[in-house]
Structure 1
């Protein structure tokens, strides 16, 4: 089935038309693509698949963009490159980073949310009577430093979790595997796969987003000056990225996966397939508001609800002007809805 893209913005068409008129009587020159640098927050993986899809299948080029993806990693901090102009867009982890930017007067703004659900999970051993989130309170919990400062504060405030039960999580599943009375943090798209592969067990999985922890995740951030001075470029990047995500999840993603493996040779086909399956099964990208507004959707009500939750948990300051952290100018336009399978 032929994939079609929505109308390119008027100003882009006017630019092209002007060039054609100016060169009447001869061959019109090719329109130069706008160069865009997009930094991710980790090494290439399926969780970045929609962006790689839009590069690999030419969607960005159809929208007049020459996009270079700049992968992140354990020793790479792409986020600091955005406000100084070394990147045009950046993939931030979740809504809390956008709040942090406002608090610290960093001139960036969130313009789309690739993930409707944060993929953060807690994993427990099977056969230990752990059936609901509350049951995890009696276990030893392996939680990272970042997790303690964010989602664990919500677990304390809303569910009564105890910091005395926590041990540092070092991104190694072995301590969890060795202790059946423990639970471990992770992402629903990766750590359960590692536990199943290494430990030969199928862990109990608790997606925090399904229990009230409601930030957006894998957000597209840009600079405020780009929004003000080049809104057409921002719109084209977001629209093309949305199309990329629909095609990555629901259509042929082989070229995108090959590009992911080029950027990250350690990535396996099995983990990519697992990650895509879990993104779809848990509605990480396409659920809730996206079903009517399209992938990338954000709303004022959802953001305010999360902000109130974080204030209650002591993570966000109540006087923070959280509304400055995001813009709805470029999303909720139903871009790509025709690409979602009917069944």
Structure 2
């Protein structure tokens, strides 16, 4: 069983006080879950502008990709922090008695969207269930599509696989397609010559946090000052990336992922800001990275109703609020 984590008085004082600076130049590796992109911009920003270094961390970003399995490396102790997609992986860890916790949620909204063709009777979210085809990947079919069926009346039998090629969607005007708000709308406009309707699932009830920071319970227990520095440095990085000079961070992103273009970067950053992906709702008072018990419970209840996860999981074992909700970085927002 996973041990419930209760910070001792001494550790709590360490986290709260000025003595919380991590050991100078302590090396830390953060694994992302995909190739370098603006959706990782806050972390690259905190490396580029010295925010992590200012509290004593020497952070290496290990980019993910189709051939990289970052979470097993976290479980094996090969990396210190991992970028989770959403809360479902944390719920799964509890089920499997894996002592991993989410310590921050740098996206208040998962960037997952559904796209439709304008002027085809699919211009409102409630119309989308009437599409001829739902072009959705395997993971989506097992998660958010089940929620769409349970809460919004979608017909899962209409699903066809998404192969990360927008051509089938472009060709079928009566179809809908999954995507990320930061990428697929851009690809469709480039390849199809039109702007698709964009529906953010988060704005229609899919209440998970996303781009979470995951770490092992042992790291929390033994190195709380490192967790604090990384969580707070990441929050400041996101503020500086979204609202400050992000040129150096974008150069690092392009260095890691040479296929990333300036046009795509500009589009993605605009979408992140326009849709309030990282900075909206609770972050306005609590700061980027914010999480609440009520929000996590709400998402869990929806996933149980949709039969994505079983009832009875002790979701309090999936996360801790000890390192967030302190308003860190709010002064950096311009």
Normalising by structure 1, report the TM-score: 0.91
Tell me the SS of whatever aligns to 1:167.
strand
Kindly report which structure 2 residues correspond to 1:77-92, keeping only aligned pairs within 5 A, or say none.
77-92=69-84
Q: Is 2:38–2:250's contact at 8 Å kept on the other side of the alignment?
A: yes
Structure 1 residue runs of 5 or longer lacking an equivalent are 1-6, 16-30
Pairing 1:101–2:93 present: yes
Structure 2 residue runs of 5 or longer lacking an equivalent are 1-14
Q: 1:279 aligns with which of 253, 272, 279?
A: 272
Deviations 1:126-154 (A, max 9, x none): 11122212211121110111001100010
Pairing 1:157–2:150 present: yes
Question: How many Å separate the matches in 2 of 1:119 and 1:300?
Answer: 21
Deviations 1:19-69 (A, max 9, x none): xxxxxxxxxxxx741100000000000000000000011111111000000
Aligned to 1:135: 127
Q: 2:33 aligns with which of 29, 37, 41?
A: 41
Pairing 1:119–2:127 present: no
Shift of 1:11: 2.8
Aligned residues: 319
Aligned Cα RMSD in Å? 1.3
Question: How many Å separate the matches in 1 of 2:75 and 2:323?
Answer: 20
Shift of 1:107: 1.6
- Which stretch of the first structure deviates more once superposed, 125-134 or 149-158? 125-134
Pairing 1:193–2:186 present: yes
Tell me the SS of whatever aligns to 1:82.
helix
Question: How many Å separate the matches in 1 of 2:235 and 2:20?
Answer: 19
Kindly report which structure 2 residues correspond to 1:9-48, keeping only aligned pairs within 5 A, or say none.
9-12=17-20, 32-48=24-40
Tell me the SS of whatever aligns to 2:163.
coil
Q: Is 1:8–1:63's contact at 8 Å kept on the other side of the alignment?
A: no
Kindly report which structure 2 residues correspond to 1:151-300, keeping only aligned pairs within 5 A, or say none.
151-300=144-293
Question: How many Å separate the matches in 2 of 1:122 and 1:130?
Answer: 11
After the TM superposition, list the runs of 4 or more consecutive aligned residues in structure 1 that deviate by more than 2 angstroms: 7-13
Normalising by structure 2, report the TM-score: 0.93
Q: 2:63 aligns with which of 65, 71, 89?
A: 71
Question: How many Å separate the matches in 2 of 1:232 and 1:37?
Answer: 15
Q: Is 1:112–1:330's contact at 8 Å kept on the other side of the alignment?
A: yes
Q: Is 2:82–2:215's contact at 8 Å kept on the other side of the alignment?
A: yes
Shift of 1:74: 0.9
In our comparison, the structure showing a higher alpha carbon Rg is 1
